[in-house]
Amino acid sequence: MLNKVLIANRGEIAVRIIRACHDLGVRTVAVFSDVDRGALHVRYADHAYPLGGAAAVDSYLRVDRILQIALQAGADAIHPGYGFLAERSDFAQAVLDAGMVWIGPPPAALGLTGNKTSARSRMQAAGVPVIPGTDEPLTDQELLKAAGRLGFPLLVKAAAGGGGKGMRVVDSLEGMPGALASARREAQSAFGDDSLYLEKRIERARHIEFQLLADQHGNIVHLGERECSLQRRHQKLLEESPSPFMDDELRAQMGGIAIQAARVLGYVSAGTVEFLVDQERRFFFLEMNPRLQVEHPVTEWVTGIDIVKEQLRIARGRKLPIAQDDVQFNGWAIECRINAEDPFDGFVPSIGRVSALTLPTGPGVRVDSGLYEGLEITPYYDSLISKLICWGETRGQAILRMRRALEEYRIMGIKTTIPFHQRILDSHRFMGGQFDTTFVDERLSLHSPEMDPGGAQVAAVLATLIAHRQQRRRIEEPGSNRWRWSRPGGGWPQ
């Protein structure tokens, strides 16, 4: 039995895990940095201990301090959430060595998934289709030779990477040296490892991932797919389940391959296998995320399965309560990631105090958030502050509910990406399910109005918005934070 779980994280995901623990009668321990002393996860946990510091390296990445607190508090398990230490095999092993339960995959599986080239090699050996590329970290000279063999366009990627860090798109041999240099610098800064490899760039691809649950007894099921193609600079913005691109035959094929990939890695707990799918509907293994995903709520809503509770049960040694044939899909769910960023100013991070807050409610609306009035948004952590999830019996109903919910959502005192999501929801291409991973960067960039038909009108509206930005900031008050892109006669051209 798990009696007390320490959550080695912060923000909305820490709140989410605390709630799941309390639903199961498990007590919780929160940890917090100096700037998170008043955070919601600190208020909701049964016990809370200070980590000190402000920056992540001085707080939420302090393995020694977190383990010390866990033992002091009498915790018998640690849940890492996502980000920070969630994918660190050395942290998972340290938790086990301290006599506690690690709520996640085994350290060996974390080690395999953490290195992208090792994972690629394993998948190829098991017959899982992978994107053409190199299968081990190479020197710059070796990468230049491999690039000529593979052909362009290519992706330069960090072997220890994720989240778009250390990734560069290269269209010619001439562009390789600069891309390699900048990718190595970013990879070293983000992961402490500047190893790089190459992948062939799949043009106009869909990014589709499959949610898995695997217990300690060899049982693995998939919970269907999530559509994650709406991205900005390789960062996901909006996810939905199921995918409008998918059919039953392709779902069965990809789901089966996802389960096969998990078996190859000896996987246990919740995890996600990510694929790229080309225009001919051929799919390729991209990576496996050995943790809870930001977008897990859309899967929970369409399957009725609480993924966090299942993680806790699996960690207890329980068998999965369902087989693959028992997994049923009901309706459609969409998630918008609400970031503290200014979409009118290049998506720069926005910091400050939340002066007023109104959360959307009503049928089919869920908000995962650590926000409250008076909360100080600091520059030390990721800009994700809330997730808005809407469910409907059909995709159309889910879209309409999301539009309503975005309209109701009021976060004052900081800038957020709410208006950008409103623009996505208004797009005819989105409503028709006709998009890929390039859609946002090419067609919805505020700084590239020429990408849309009627670009002159768009440019005129943008010029007006820029001219009045300071005025808006001065007059902003509760009830007036919904900034809409509009033009005479209707919405934006699509």
Quote the DSSP letter at residue 490: B
Give the angle subtended at the CA of 191 by the CAs of 240 and 117, to the nearest 5°: 75
- Residue 380 sits at φ, ψ, to 5 deg, of -85, -15
The packing angle between helices 296-303 and 307-315, to 10°, is: 90
Phi/psi of residue 428, each to 5°? -65, -35
Q: Is the dihedral of CA 137, 139, 145, 148 positive or negative?
A: positive
Degrees (nearest 5) of the Cα angle 230, 324, 326?
Answer: 105
Does 291 participate in catalysis according to the annotation? yes
Q: Pairing relation of β-strands 376-377 and 352-353?
A: antiparallel
205's tokens: 């691809």
Alpha-carbon distance 388 to 319, whole Å?
31
- The residue assigned the tokens 């919805």 is 444
Fill in the DSSP letter of residue 261. Answer: H
Check 291, 337, 366, 423 and give the catalytic one: 291
- The SS3 call for residue 176 is helix
CA–CA dist 371, 41 (Å, integer): 10
Kind and range of the H or E run holding 352 = strand 352-353
Place of tokens 């392709």: 250
Bond before 242 cis per omega within 30 degrees: yes
**Alpha-carbon gap, residue 77 to 5, rounded angstroms:** 5
Residues serving a catalytic function are: 291
